[in-house]
Structure 1
């Protein structure tokens, strides 16, 4: 396999120890501890990074609070927007460097990583336009006293925000949260996933280079139990924003009750993808395959439940097998690879266990189901398709977070909608059809935060993103997320 050459800047970055960024200073963890970051494609150590703990979290939160009440509060909305525009330019300038770091620590193909880096710049650029557009309003109140009264509202930043982000989109998830934080005038303590801290470190280096004042963005790398938990529980954090599993989201919500900090959660999913008999079957099957195999299936919105009308089931299964077989598994730095490894040995073990359980519970394995024989190292798993006619196996019910698709057939549309909604999750759903009446009718009945018709996984910073039920609280992106990082203050003035 021929892999792309690492940029000299990337090699230099990897040779330097990763450090915490607190109050504008790069520093080691108070304990002096470090942890290794692995390349999931070859299981080799890429770099060592500071392992922050409770003392580092305390210091970072204090630095953020000082910046929030001090230098950052003195910045005008226009100045905040300018800083964000500068950051977007830097993200564009160093796009290839960022992409290579994403691929090295996450494993995804370099083309996908380049797309993620480009998306990050566009997201920051979108939020750069918001600071000068956050506004209050005047309200026509009618006080019982009859006195003339002016009532107006102000939108003010929430304050210190703890941002805990996952490993599947290590750069995108950082900017999804940092964008609105910085646009609204809040400050941040960022905790990236321990599997993928490197691109977060490089991002914060660019934030520093863009000219953001010290303490506005602080970075504490480390493990969830030693770093994330004290951050979630911290009494001087005003808001916590978390993306990850529903299980950990519950713990985050419980931790927030100490000081009743605001919480936004973007959690798991088991998203239904539906093919109607009138759909363009070739296009729909490709969309279904892309919807589950993209990013090795490590996507919260992965279309992992595919409902196919019985009349086209055989044709769809044939197409799915063809798309699965066409994937080239290999290291993400090899341009020929279309599917990289899973992020860790733990994730590989979890997905492998689901593949075994699915067969034991009666699901029929159509293709895949094993590690590729030609790759001796790395956390690789074949793209896999199950057919579960009873829809009772774990692979049809539980989030797997791997390239595993479970196909079910259906005949009656009303029953189909009930089955599609029969899940504790409600993050996304999809529908493939040529009939616009059916499309709008079914879309209106699906309990999901995003519904895609004849497409999948379309996300835009101007459109809200989030889930129903146990897929989360609140919305990311768009004007909706601005509300999540601001408080509304109502002011009454007696004009008598």
Structure 2
């Protein structure tokens, strides 16, 4: 019997007005039910927005350090539940135990971080032209925020939206992806236990077509933060900005790692393999293109294939790489593998579902490496949300940089090189919001800005760190000549 979770609206746990629920299953064993969530509709979303709007003024007037104390207590509660939430995340999303544990810890760290930032939310003092005037700024919350989050980081992404929104004095409604909503619900359990006032934070599960649409278009919502696919995000951005809302979107990626001829090939292959196959390739920052200098191409391919072949696939609580989250995600990855072969790419390893008794049920796919990929192939241009690496051979750094930029996306990018001039040019000229040198495309610090260029982002507001607070605050300039 699966656990049934309710919506959290105005400080109460409630069933959806539809009376219906949605079941989630374990992607490693789809016959195993994990939990049930509310199949909410527009009415539930409207109730949540009304609660947030009602609580807005009192929460905005709450001193920052007092807000921080609640965030700090919520972080402590999540920390105490870390092992339980790690197991839930693994069963619901499919990550390995180590990956899930790291993600839960990141959510804890985010709440602790923004708890401390509440002490520094004052404005700035400036010198006025007149001797009788005090000139300064104050930062005020934007108001009610609608947060829409994906399934691939089901506790970290909600955390890095919720924590700065609350720290800055906003109220909010979260619509998580129902495919893996359990750890997001746990955040609200922690906030409730920590003493968050009624209505300040609300969670409603259900379809984007009803719950998400209502949140994005609601007159009482002042800001929208969305993470998900570029196609949906662009529609969200258009709708919300038409209504005059402040909007932040973080979307897809087609992230390259440029491998120079000066590298230690073993090290380069390990960096790329970790970025391509970690979290089953289901990360918006995953490395999906290795752009490799011809002089080291053959050796690099041999080494990265060795890494791929060494990965043990299976349930996340025991193996190196877990399943994809749903059957549709698996089918999408397998379709791209077929497309790559049809286009003329050479399959070096992987390319299908693994065989064996433990793979009979789950949504497993082999770590896959293609070579002889041309830059205009779909496998080199479109986001593949699975463990698939396209190796593109180039003759020099100039060509590699041009190929790296020649896509519609610009989220994360890296270069592996011993040439300092190449590294400096890469940082200056790469069209990506995150640029790394001698490191993988995945892995983010929580206290620095995160966001993309081109179709990877609305290119408006960044997330995380001080930039995350900027989105949730509006600055007022005060001339005090009293």
Q: Which range, TM-score by smaller chain? A: over 0.9
TM-score where L is the length of structure 1? 0.93
Matched with 1:363 is 345
Matched with 1:176 is 160
Identify the range of structure 1 (107-116 vs 133-142) with the bigger mean alpha-carbon deviation: 133-142
> Which residue of 76, 90, 100 corresponds with 2:63?
76
Matched with 1:488 is 475
Counterparts of 1:70-469 in structure 2, within 5 Å, are 70=58, 72-140=59-127, 149-333=133-317, 335=318, 337-374=319-356, 375-456=359-440, 457-469=442-454
Give the deviation of 1:388 after TM superposition.
3.0
Tell me if the contact between 1:160 and 1:236 (Cα under 8 Å) persists in the aligned partners.
yes
User: Helix, strand or coil for the counterpart of 1:154?
Assistant: strand
1:435-492 CA-partner distances (Å, limit 9, x unpaired): 2232122221111111111112231111111101111132111111111100111223
Tell me the distance in 2 between the aligned counterparts of 1:253 and 1:440. 34
Matched with 1:43 is 30
Tell me the distance in 1 between the aligned counterparts of 2:62 and 2:72. 15
Identify the range of structure 1 (90-99 vs 452-461) with the bigger mean alpha-carbon deviation: 452-461
Give the deviation of 1:313 after TM superposition.
0.5
1:108-148 CA-partner distances (Å, limit 9, x unpaired): 11111111111111111111111110121233455xxx896
Tell me if the contact between 2:151 and 2:177 (Cα under 8 Å) persists in the aligned partners.
yes
User: Helix, strand or coil for the counterpart of 1:452?
Assistant: strand
Tell me if the contact between 2:374 and 2:380 (Cα under 8 Å) persists in the aligned partners.
no
TM-score where L is the length of structure 2? 0.96
5+ residue gaps, structure 1, are 1-13
Matched with 1:9 is none
> Which residue of 44, 69, 82 corresponds with 1:56?
44
Tell me if the contact between 2:140 and 2:476 (Cα under 8 Å) persists in the aligned partners.
yes
Tell me the distance in 2 between the aligned counterparts of 1:358 and 1:450. 27
1:9-62 CA-partner distances (Å, limit 9, x unpaired): xxxxx7431110000000100111111112111112222211111000110001
Tell me if the contact between 1:452 and 1:458 (Cα under 8 Å) persists in the aligned partners.
no
Tell me if the contact between 2:216 and 2:240 (Cα under 8 Å) persists in the aligned partners.
yes
Tell me the distance in 2 between the aligned counterparts of 1:203 and 1:253. 26
Tell me the distance in 2 between the aligned counterparts of 1:191 and 1:141. 45
Tell me if the contact between 2:373 and 2:380 (Cα under 8 Å) persists in the aligned partners.
no
Give the deviation of 1:258 after TM superposition.
4.5
5+ residue gaps, structure 2, are none
Tell me if the contact between 1:235 and 1:258 (Cα under 8 Å) persists in the aligned partners.
no
Tell me if the contact between 2:92 and 2:179 (Cα under 8 Å) persists in the aligned partners.
yes
User: Helix, strand or coil for the counterpart of 2:107?
Assistant: helix
Identify the range of structure 1 (281-290 vs 73-82) with the bigger mean alpha-carbon deviation: 73-82
Tell me the distance in 2 between the aligned counterparts of 1:46 and 1:129. 35
* Aligned residues between the structures: 476
User: Helix, strand or coil for the counterpart of 2:290?
Assistant: strand
Tell me if the contact between 2:257 and 2:413 (Cα under 8 Å) persists in the aligned partners.
yes
Tell me if the contact between 2:138 and 2:475 (Cα under 8 Å) persists in the aligned partners.
yes
